[in-house]
């Protein structure tokens, strides 16, 4: 029997004012209830089951909005795509007009209902194969020794809407003349407080209006510098940004924010909101190990973590554990920071490069290198002091996670126990887009 059209539902909505279009909610949704266009991320009321998987991964809280509406007046995808801000909550008088004020609300699942749903989903597939969900192992908890992260200091809901940063440096970090034009951009905040940690991100507000005459929406970028600044002791950060000239399908397109940022000159001003992120953070206790797996500009948070550990090592006041980096690109010319990475001491970091388009050489991806280093990765998977970070294109995520599973199984480890511990202990973090 279907739900009466006058029945109240608690509709899940995304606030476009504070959403930074990072895609974390869409990636976390197990049933594809969340989608997006070139402006907004939206939730399909006909698919959403209130499983809450998307809520903890949202860096701004934009995902955590619920409106009581009669089923017949549920907001459509077309309406949500057109919003610049959420509509006002319906009053009791408005609900009464539709005969819905006294109806029970179809609320989000209780913990018991959610547990039953999870158990049902875990039942074996009739085919004998259980689908592998890589995102199910992503932890929303920071490492226990992670420093306290400050978030949302600047933004639509903050006392100060934006922070103004000045460009103090811009450098191309891929070979000139190659297709991948990637820049290392340094932004200085002067006297404005902007505390950040390795693994956090900010969002840039490009100037001008879009095709609809609306201000451009924020674009998110991971911070590539450590907590004490790109230049130690200075109130600045760095970003790693690739100029976008085609979409994921290879069609020509000019990325609004990426081209704006890559064209900036020293002295230009940039409007920033953030910082964001309180789980993709590095451990700070002695002898903790870090395994970093990335492609392209997904190297930004890995550079931040590596540089902070390098500075700690240089100070002689911190005994770090093993650092391993698996870094993939099409060719070495398109890999950001290739030269500087080669100069890092071998006893400081174990670097593994994967190139998929090197002429006259077999294709290699990060997961191929991980399999080659299985003997070194397996002990780290079982070590409670080892932390794993994956950042890059969404297409890499499943291959990387399947490889970690296979490495564990081949070493005689129980993957269900290992995978559960990685998530439960804040030791595995996925940031793919």
Tell me if 114 is assigned to some domain: yes
Q: Is residue 222 annotated as part of the catalytic site, yes or no?
A: yes
CATH assignment of the domain containing 314: 3.40.50.80
Strand ranges in 255-385 using DSSP code E only, listed in sequence order: 269-276, 289-295, 323-329, 350-355
Tell me if 186 is assigned to some domain: yes
Please say if the pLDDT value at position 114 is more than 90: no
Are 316 and 421 found together in one domain? yes
pTM comes to: 0.85
**Structure confidence at residue 428 as a pLDDT band (50, 70, 90):** very high
Give CA–CA dist 362/79, Å, rounded.
48
Are 300 and 395 found together in one domain? yes
Tell me if 30 is assigned to some domain: yes
- The pLDDT of 162-190, averaged and rounded, is 90
Give CA–CA dist 406/386, Å, rounded.
18
Give CA–CA dist 335/177, Å, rounded.
13
Q: Is residue 221 annotated as part of the catalytic site, yes or no?
A: yes
pLDDT of residue 211: 85
Are 225 and 298 found together in one domain? no
Are 226 and 270 found together in one domain? yes
Coil, helix or strand for 167? Answer: strand
CATH assignment of the domain containing 47: 3.30.70.20
Q: Is residue 288 annotated as part of the catalytic site, yes or no?
A: no
Residues 180, 225, 391, 397: which is the catalytic one?
391
- The pLDDT of 256-272, averaged and rounded, is 96
Are 212 and 312 found together in one domain? no
113 versus 184: the higher-pLDDT residue is 184
146: CB partners within 8 A, 6+ apart: 197, 281, 282, 283, 284, 426
Q: What is the pLDDT of residues 269-316, one digit of tens each?
A: 999 999 999 999 999 999 999 999 999 999 999 999 999 999 999 999
What is the domain count for the chain?
Answer: 3
Are 343 and 260 found together in one domain? no
pLDDT of residue 99: 66
Residues 134, 201, 222, 288: which is the catalytic one?
222
Domain hosting residue 89, numbered range? 8-124
Q: Is residue 431 annotated as part of the catalytic site, yes or no?
A: yes
Residues 41, 137, 154, 221: which is the catalytic one?
221
Are 104 and 53 found together in one domain? yes
Are 185 and 296 found together in one domain? no
């Amino acid at each position: 029997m279907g739900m009466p059209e006058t029945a109240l539902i608690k509709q899940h909505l995304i606030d476009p004012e504070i959403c930074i279009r990072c895609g974390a909610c869409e990636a976390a949704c197990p049933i594809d209830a969340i989608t997006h266009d070139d402006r907004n991320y939206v939730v399909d009321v006909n698919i959403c089951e209130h499983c809450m998987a998307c809520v903890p991964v949202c860096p701004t809280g934009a995902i955590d909005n619920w409106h009581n509406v009669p089923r017949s007046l549920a907001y459509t995808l077309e309406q949500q795509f057109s919003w610049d801000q959420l509509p006002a909550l319906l009053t009791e008088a408005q609900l009464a007009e539709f005969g819905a004020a006294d109806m029970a609300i179809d609320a989000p699942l209780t913990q018991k209902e959610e547990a039953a749903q999870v158990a049902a989903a875990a039942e074996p597939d009739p085919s004998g194969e259980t689908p592998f969900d890589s995102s199910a192992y992503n932890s929303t908890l920071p490492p226990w020794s992670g420093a306290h992260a400050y978030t949302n200091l600047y933004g639509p809901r903050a006392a100060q809407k934006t922070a103004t940063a000045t460009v103090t440096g811009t450098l191309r970090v891929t070979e000139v003349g190659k297709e991948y034009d990637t820049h290392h951009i340094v932004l200085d905040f002067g006297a404005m407080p902007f505390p950040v940690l390795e693994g956090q991100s900010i969002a840039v507000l490009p100037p001008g209006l879009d095709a609809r005459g609306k201000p451009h929406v924020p674009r998110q970028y991971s911070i590539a510098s450590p907590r004490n600044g790109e230049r130690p002791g200075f109130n600045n950060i760095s970003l790693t940004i690739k100029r976008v000239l085609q979409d994921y399908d290879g069609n020509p397109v000019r990325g609004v924010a990426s081209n704006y940022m890559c064209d900036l000159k020293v002295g230009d001003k940039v409007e920033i909101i953030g910082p964001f992120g309180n789980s993709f953070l590095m451990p700070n206790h002695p002898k903790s190990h870090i395994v970093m797996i990335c492609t392209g500009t997904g190297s930004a948070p890995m550079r931040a973590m590596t540089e902070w550990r390098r500075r700690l090592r240089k100070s002689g006041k911190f005994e770090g554990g093993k650092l391993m980096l698996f870094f993939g690109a099409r060719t070495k010319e398109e890999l950001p920071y290739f030269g500087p990475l080669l100069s890092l001491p071998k006893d400081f970091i174990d670097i593994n490069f994967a190139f998929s388009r090197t002429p006259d050489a077999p294709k290699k991806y990060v997961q191929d290198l991980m399999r080659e280093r299985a003997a070194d990765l397996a002990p780290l998977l079982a070590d409670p002091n080892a932390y794993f970070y994956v950042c890059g294109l969404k297409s890499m995520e499943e291959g990387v996670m399947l490889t970690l599973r296979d490495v564990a199984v081949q070493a005689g480890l129980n993957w269900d126990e290992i995978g559960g511990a990685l998530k439960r202990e804040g030791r595995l973090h996925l940031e793919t887009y």
